[in-house]
Amino acid sequence: MQRRITGFVLDEHGDWIASLDCGHRQHVRHDPPFTSRPWVVSSEGRADRIGSGWPCSLCDRFEVPAGFVAYKRTPEFTEVTVPQGLRRDHSTKRGVWAKIRVLEGTLRYHVPALNRQFDVTPEAPGIVIAEVVHHVEPLGPVRFYVEFFRAPTT
């Protein structure tokens, strides 16, 4: 999916990596003649790209960004106490990911924007992608909570 570039860092080999607003990092190589991105090797070129779009394959794969830490969780909910807000389409804020953790039963997790749905069980948590609209639907008795993740504060 399309994300926005928030900055650039160098890796240990001297290749540029773009930081994206989802929390992921993607290599942006200038490797002529195969990949020509002369703009990435100049500070002006990089500055011009801040805020521009970049496709993030890691978001497409529902991968929580490396190094993200849990900082908050909801109370435990059941099929009776699940807030209406979670049953309706909603999303997390920029840079905030979540894991839906089922303790007992099965919770259906819908991601309409990506045309995906998952049955979340104690063995398989649901991964909530930052800013991507989703909702949940209890399939019978269930106990679950949601745990939120973000970049570590330095």
Task: For Zn ion, give the closer residue by CB, 107 or 131.
Answer: 131
Instruction: List all residues 6 or more positions away from 37 whose beta carbon is below 8 Å from its beta carbon.
Output: 28, 29, 30
Question: With binding defined as CB under 5 A, does residue 24 bind Zn ion?
Answer: yes
Task: For Zn ion, give the closer residue by CB, 59 or 136.
Answer: 59
Task: For Zn ion, give the closer residue by CB, 2 or 115.
Answer: 2
Q: What SS3 class is residue 154?
A: coil
End-to-end CA distance of the chain: 28
Question: With binding defined as CB under 5 A, does residue 150 bind Zn ion?
Answer: no
Task: For Zn ion, give the closer residue by CB, 22 or 102.
Answer: 22
Question: With binding defined as CB under 5 A, does residue 22 bind Zn ion?
Answer: yes
AA letter at 29: R
According to CB under 5 A, which residues from 36 to 65 bind Zn ion? Answer: 56, 58-59
Question: With binding defined as CB under 5 A, does residue 18 bind Zn ion?
Answer: no
For residues 66-85, b (16+ Cβ closer than 10 Å) or e, as one string?
eebeeeeeeeebeeeebeee
**Cβ 117 to Zn ion shortest distance, Å:** 21
**Cβ 17 to Zn ion shortest distance, Å:** 13
Residue 135: CB atoms within 10 Å: 16
Binding site for Zn ion (CB under 5 A): 22, 24, 56, 58-59
